[in-house]
Amino acid sequence: MISVPAGVRIYLALEPCDMRKGFDGLSLMVQQSLGKDPFSGHLFLFRGKRSDRLKILYADANGMALFSKRLEKGRFVWPSTRTPGGAVVLKPAELSLLLEGLEWRHTEPTWRPTAAG
């Protein structure tokens, strides 16, 4: 499990992205698609089109980190929305469930969409 420090927000990008992207490509997506600062110290989660791969971009005072996870069976549970772009804000407990490939959307209706910008 990833320990999330107090005050750190967890943004789940709604649109799938190219999993070949690295630090620079994902940072650009954070800025352009989500309208956020990739160096803010928050976590930014992205999934591939097949929903079996996930990347987390995180920056702190020392630099950036990029975490990647691939599920051997199943898919990551992602919110279904008709709103293009934007993100959903998660709680740390919801992140833990999501990383295990478990249903997290029915734990408590705490996640909320955020508009880009």
pLDDT tens per residue across span 30-49: 999 899 999 999 999 999 99
% residues pLDDT > 70 (the chain):
83
pLDDT band of 97, cuts 50, 70, 90: confident
Instruction: Output the CA torsion sign for 73, 77, 78, 82.
Output: positive
Instruction: Say which residue, 85 or 23, is predicted with more confidence.
Output: 23
Between CA 23 and CA 44 the distance in angstroms is: 11
- pLDDT of residue 71 exceeding 80, the answer is yes
How, if at all, do strands 10-13 and 43-47 pair?
A: parallel
List all residues 6 or more positions away from 36 whose beta carbon is below 8 Å from its beta carbon. 11, 30, 42, 44, 87
- Predicted confidence at residue 109, as pLDDT, reads 47
Against a cut of 0.85, is the pTM above it? no
Q: In the chain, what's the furthest Cα-to-Cα distance?
A: 37
In the three-class reduction of DSSP (H, G, I as helix; E, B as strand; rest coil), residue 68 is classed as strand
Indicate whether 104 pLDDT > 80.
no
User: What's the alpha-carbon Rg for the chain, to the nearest Å?
Assistant: 13
Average pLDDT score, the chain: 85
